[in-house]
């Protein structure tokens, strides 16, 4: 075991408890990296109590002072980028350039949190003669976030800097598959000067999540993960009258028109489906090939075949995940899909026990196949042929998910048509991964998001605060009216 067993971070210190632990694997080698405690109600309760103790002082700290911690934290993320990226690669598997991009994105999210004093300045208006209304934002109290395995640094930073800068105390439940990065986040926040109890980490799985949903001392929960779990969390957290925003899985469709640029489109679609081994909620999953786009497909196939597992594409997260993905591919082939690029036998010398898969592209998939409907979450692209853009949009619209959709075209009117009619919360034109960057908010539609609002950017301000509407009258000489 390369690292000692990870511990919870409660009240500013590592918290030891005699808990059942599970192994944390390095997906590139299949070896055990560390162990993670499977906490439950007691650990959540301890963290809530420590947060409740820290909260009054933190909430009373002016926002301009609170964000000073995040200026330092951002500098620390940049200082430690190589070490953080190496840790992400070890526990998640993604290649170094992807891991570095994840840390840089965390820095960008933190930069947004640093701008919150400017963005959240209140509103004031004389609404009647001598009567003034103002709106101020107040934090909620103790809040929690539950994270998935695919972005061990970025996803916790979607919510943490904003929620804390806005005056909340924050409990993170990282994925038990990637618990090491969360400990590093806690260390950097401590070094940046965050008071103890304002950020805490409780490790584990289902039991901790249920304890967070049920705990009446927690006011709001954000969740990112699969749709199946998002539904469980949304239902359970709102049952105890918490605010909840639960982001779920995805099945993203990329519509490729015959006028699309061959070089750019083939490169972008491939990068979208294979980046982070296809384990991104924004990954291309279905290419809707409109009319004849065979030259683009041929170019993409050439590029995909040239990708080398190891340097160009990392492993998937676990042996079970690899099995599941292989099953989808095999079933599609049995039902008549034609395999253009076959990544099923990918191997990396010296890392034979890693969970490797190469990019896999399947053509002539039909909308009724399971692989066309369900989230595969691996480096697999299916091509569905469509006669025109509306036929393609019908396939996209029929998906229960709604995270992202893109169109590749040189036509402004086709681009506009797709932007208007795709049933997805994030839509791109000639962009393989249409992630909105700060200050724009991240969030899907349909079964890719439960709750109101978005998780990052301006959208998150509403989620992590409550507004107070204050009406005052000081100049009595202004007279009386119906408000008097
Ligand atoms: P997951 O749903 O298995 O796990 C997410 C979190 O929920 C983890 O912390 C896990 O411990 C916990 N959990 C798992 N099962 C649970 C249960 N039955 N009850 C309570 N808690 C449970 O997701 P994952 O495999 O870690 O992550 C991949 C998924 O996340 C994909 O579906 C991907 O699309 C999605 N994702 C979505 C977004 C988005 O923005 N919409 C972003 C990243 C990942």
Nearest to 68 by CA among 140, 145, 164, 143: 164
**What is the number of the ligand 1 atom nearest to the C-alpha of 448?**
41
Mean pLDDT confidence for 406-434: 98
Would you say residue 440 has pLDDT above 80? Answer: yes
User: What is the per-residue pLDDT across 23-50, written as a single tens digit (0 to 9) for each?
Assistant: 999 999 999 999 999 999 999 999 999 9
Q: Write out the chain in H/E/C secondary structure.
A: CCCCCCCEEECCEEECCCCCEEEEEECCCCEEEEEEECCCHHHHHHHHHHHHHHHHHHHHCCHHHHHHHHHHHHHHHHHCHHHHHHHHHHHHCCCHHHHHHHHHHHHHHHHHHHCHHHHCCCEEEEEECCEEEEEEEEECCEEEEECCCCCCCHHHHHHHHHHHHCCCEEEEECCCCCCHHHHHHHHHHHHCCCCCCCEEECCCCHHHHHHHHHCCCCCEEEEECCHHHHHHHHHHHHHCCCEEEEECCCCEEEEECCCCCHHHHHHHHHHHHHHHHHCCCCCEEEEEEECCCHHHHHHHHHHHHCCCECCCECCCCCHHHHHHHHHHHHHHHHCCCEEEECCCCCCCCCCCCCCCCCCEEEECCCCCCHHHHCCCCCCEEEEEEECCHHHHHHHHHHCCCCCEEEEECCCHHHHHHHHHHCCCCEEEECCCCCCCCCCCCCCCCHHHEECCCCCCHHHHHHHHEEEEEEEEECCHHHCCCCCC
Cα 435 to ligand 1 centre (Å): 19
Residue 118 has pLDDT above 70, yes or no: yes
| pLDDT exceeds 90 at position 475 | no
| Strands 13-15 vs 8-10: parallel, antiparallel or unpaired | antiparallel
Atom nearest to 148 CA in ligand 1: 26
- As a whole-number percent, the residues of the chain with pLDDT over 90 amount to 95
The owner of tokens 């279905």 is 286
Query: From the alpha carbon of 444, which atom of ligand 1 is closest?
Result: 41
Q: What is the pLDDT of residues 369-404, one digit of tens each?
A: 999 999 999 999 999 999 999 999 999 999 999 999
- The pLDDT of 304-320, averaged and rounded, is 98
Q: Closest residue (by CA) to atom 9 of ligand 1?
A: 175
Mean pLDDT, the chain, whole residue set = 97
pLDDT for res 484 = 67
Give yes or no for residue 93 having a pLDDT over 90.
yes
In which band, very low, low, confident or very high, does the pLDDT at 479 lie, cut at 50, 70 and 90? confident
Mean pLDDT, rounded, for 310-317: 98
Question: What's residue 129's pLDDT?
Answer: 87
pLDDT of residue 44: 98
At residue 16, the pLDDT reads 77
Query: Among residues 213, 244, 276, 281, which one is catalytic?
Result: 281
d(CA 40, CA 424): 36
> Could you tell me the residue ranges of all domains in the chain?
8-248+448-469, 252-429
Asked if residue 6 has pLDDT above 70, the reply is yes
Q: How far apart, in Å, are the Cα atoms of 51 and each of 141, 172, 210, 271, 329?
A: 8, 12, 18, 42, 47
Which among 172, 225, 245, 380 is the best mutation to test ligand 1's pocket, defined by most ligand atoms within 8 Å of the CB?
225
pLDDT band with cut points at 50, 70 and 90 for residue 167 = very high
Q: Do domains 8-248+448-469 and 252-429 have the same CATH topology?
A: no
Residue nearest to atom 40 of ligand 1 (CA): 247
Q: What would the mean pLDDT of 430-437 be, rounded to a whole number?
A: 97
Work out which ligand 1 atom sits closest to the CA atom of 230: 2
The superfamily (CATH) of domain 252-429 is Aldehyde Dehydrogenase; Chain A, domain 2 (3.40.309.10)
Cis amide linkage into residue 450, ω under 30° from 0: no
Q: Which of 155, 206, 205, 213 is nearest to 185 (CA)?
A: 155
Half-sphere exposure (CA, 13 Å, Cβ side) for 418? Answer: 30
How remote is the CA of residue 148 from the centroid of ligand 1, in Å? 4
Burial class (CB in 10 A: 0-12, 13-18, 19+), 395: middle
The distance in angstroms from the start CA to the end CA of the chain is 71
**What digits encode the pLDDT tens for the residues 450-471?**
999 999 999 999 999 999 999 9
Band of pLDDT at residue 481, cut at 50, 70 and 90: confident
Strand order from edge to edge, sheet including 13-15: 13-15, 8-10, 199-201, 169-173, 142-146, 220-224, 243-247, 449-450
Q: Does 436 score more than 70 pLDDT? A: yes
Looking at ligand 1, which residue's alpha carbon is closest to its atom 22?
206
Ligand 1 geometric centre to CA of 235 (Å): 15
**Is 476's pLDDT higher than 80?**
no
Is the pTM of the predicted complex or chain greater than 0.95?
Answer: yes
Q: Residues 8-248+448-469: name the CATH superfamily.
A: Aldehyde Dehydrogenase; Chain A, domain 1 (3.40.605.10)
Mean pLDDT throughout 284-307? Answer: 98
pLDDT digits (tens, 9 = 90+) for 178-234: 999 999 999 999 999 999 999 999 999 999 999 999 999 999 999 999 999 999 999
Known catalytic membership, residue 213: no
Q: Stretch 272-291: mean pLDDT, rounded?
A: 98
Q: Which residue has the tokens 């963290």?
A: 47
Ligand 1 pocket (Cβ < 6 Å) reads 146-150, 155, 173, 175-176, 205-206, 209, 224-226, 229, 232, 247-250, 281, 375, 377, 403, 444, 448
Q: Which of 38, 93, 148 to mutate to test the pocket of ligand 1 (most atoms within 8 A of CB)?
A: 148
């Amino acid at each position: 075991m390369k690292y000692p067993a990870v511990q919870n971070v409660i009240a500013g210190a590592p918290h030891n408890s005699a808990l059942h632990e599970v192994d944390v694997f390095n997906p590139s080698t299949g070896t055990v990296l560390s162990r993670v405690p499977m906490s439950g109600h007691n650990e959540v309760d301890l963290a809530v109590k420590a947060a409740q103790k820290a909260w009054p002082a933190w909430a009373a700290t002016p926002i301009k002072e609170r964000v000073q911690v995040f200026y330092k934290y951002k500098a620390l993320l940049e200082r430690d980028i190589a070490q953080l990226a190496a840790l992400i690669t070890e526990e998640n598997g993604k290649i170094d350039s992807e891991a570095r991009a994840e840390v840089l994105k965390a820095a960008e999210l933190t930069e947004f949190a640093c701008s919150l004093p400017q963005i959240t300045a209140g509103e004031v208006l004389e609404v009647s003669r001598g009567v003034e209304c103002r709106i101020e934002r107040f934090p909620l109290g103790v809040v929690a976030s539950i994270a998935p395995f695919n972005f061990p640094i970025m996803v916790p930073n979607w919510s943490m800097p904003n929620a804390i800068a806005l005056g909340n105390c924050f409990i993170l439940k990282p994925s038990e598959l990637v618990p090491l990065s969360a400990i590093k986040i806690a260390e950097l926040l401590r070094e940046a000067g965050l008071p103890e109890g304002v950020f805490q980490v409780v490790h584990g799985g289902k039991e901790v999540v249920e304890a967070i949903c049920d705990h009446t001392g927690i006011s709001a929960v954000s969740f990112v993960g699969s749709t199946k779990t998002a539904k469980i969390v949304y239902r359970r957290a709102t049952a105890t009258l918490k605010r909840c925003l639960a982001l779920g899985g995805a099945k993203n469709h990329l519509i490729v028109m015959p006028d699309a640029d061959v070089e750019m489109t083939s490169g972008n679609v491939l990068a979208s489906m294979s980046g982070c081994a296809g384990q991104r909620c924004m990954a291309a999953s279905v290419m809707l090939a409109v009319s004849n786009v065979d030259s683009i497909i041929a170019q993409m196939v050439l590029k995909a075949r040239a990708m080398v597992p190891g340097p160009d594409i990392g492993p998937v997260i676990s042996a079970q995940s690899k099995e599941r993905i292989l099953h989808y591919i095999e079933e599609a082939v049995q039902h008549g899909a034609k395999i253009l690029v076959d990544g099923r036998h990918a191997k990396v010398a010296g890392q034979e026990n890693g969970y490797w898969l190469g990019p896999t592209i399947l053509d002539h998939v039909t909308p009724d196949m399971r692989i066309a409907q369900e989230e595969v979450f691996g480096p697999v692209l299916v091509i569905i042929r469509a006669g025109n853009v509306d036929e393609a949009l019908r396939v996209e619209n029929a998906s229960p998910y709604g995270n992202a959709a893109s169109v590749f075209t040189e036509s402004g009117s086709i681009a506009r048509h797709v932007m208007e009619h795709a049933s997805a919360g994030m839509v791109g034109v000639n962009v393989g991964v249409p992630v909105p960057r700060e200050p724009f908010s991240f969030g899907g539609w349909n079964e890719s998001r439960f709750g109101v609002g978005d998780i990052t950017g301006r959208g998150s301000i509403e989620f992590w605060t409550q507004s107070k509407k204050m009406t005052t009258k000081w100049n009595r000489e202004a007279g009386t009216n119906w408000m008097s």
